Amino acid sequence: MAAPKEDYDVCLDKYTYIFNPSLLQGKVAFITGGGSGICFTVAEILMRHKCDTVILSRKLERVQKSSKKLEEATGQRCLAIQLDVRKPQDVLAAVDKALSYYGRIDIVVNGAAGNFLCPVESMSFNAFKTVIEIDTIGTFNVSKAVYDKYLKDHGGVIINISATLAYKGQMLQAHAGPAKAAIGKSFSPQIILLLPMMM
């Protein structure tokens, strides 16, 4: 029998506040990739500052489990939605669901990502395409959908999770480097110009 997989997505045992604990009270964050990894903790910190959240992932069971953990640890609401950011119609439906549930979206965190270690000579055409679609096109899909449906009229903040892979090459990351470069160098400056920070 295989040993059970260790659960890395656990909430903090304790949290020391630097900012006002109620800093984000009444706000709602829409977080792709929020079911695990970096964005699970991003969701937790926002929730510890009284922000309600929507966490989204391709794996429904994982995002539901994560939502329950986050609600129990913080006392805030966390809506779990299954989403593949590569599919615009699914993104639009997820935004509608979040707005129906909360009535607003103030913060978008684009954290959904696909990555794996692979030498370029062994990488398939589809593997490269998939990472570009999740990281880069998914970031655009979510940003545009939330902007069109809410932020354009109400203001808000979009945060894109990227990486420094574009500054110097990294072994086994020929797919993730271009995907993250597109996010860091193309989307962020335009979003800063378009969206006033109305927090």
47, part of any domain: yes
Mean pLDDT, residues 105-122 taken together: 80
Tell me the residue range of the domain where 170 lies.
28-194
| Residue 193 host element (H or E) | helix 188-194
Task: Give the CATH number for residue 98.
Answer: 3.40.50.720
167, part of any domain: yes
Assigned token pair, 58? 């391709």
60, part of any domain: yes
21, part of any domain: no
Q: Is 30 exposed, middle or buried (0-12, 13-18, 19+ CB in 10 A)?
A: buried
Residue 137, number of CB atoms within 10 A of its CB: 16
10, part of any domain: no
Task: Determine contact, residues 71/63, Cβ cutoff 8 Å.
Answer: no
154, part of any domain: yes
Least confident range of 2-6, 27-31, 174-178: 2-6
Separation of alpha carbons 131 and 138, rounded Å:
10
Give 79's strand partners: 54
Tell me the chain's radius of gyration from C-alpha atoms.
17
Separation of alpha carbons 30 and 105, rounded Å:
7
Question: pLDDT grade, residue 159 (50/70/90)?
Answer: very high
Q: How high is the mean pLDDT of the chain?
A: 85
Looking at the 3D structure of the chain, how many domains does it have?
1
64, part of any domain: yes
44, part of any domain: yes
Question: pLDDT grade, residue 134 (50/70/90)?
Answer: confident
Query: Which of 131, 124, 119 lies closest to 170 in space, CA to CA?
Result: 119
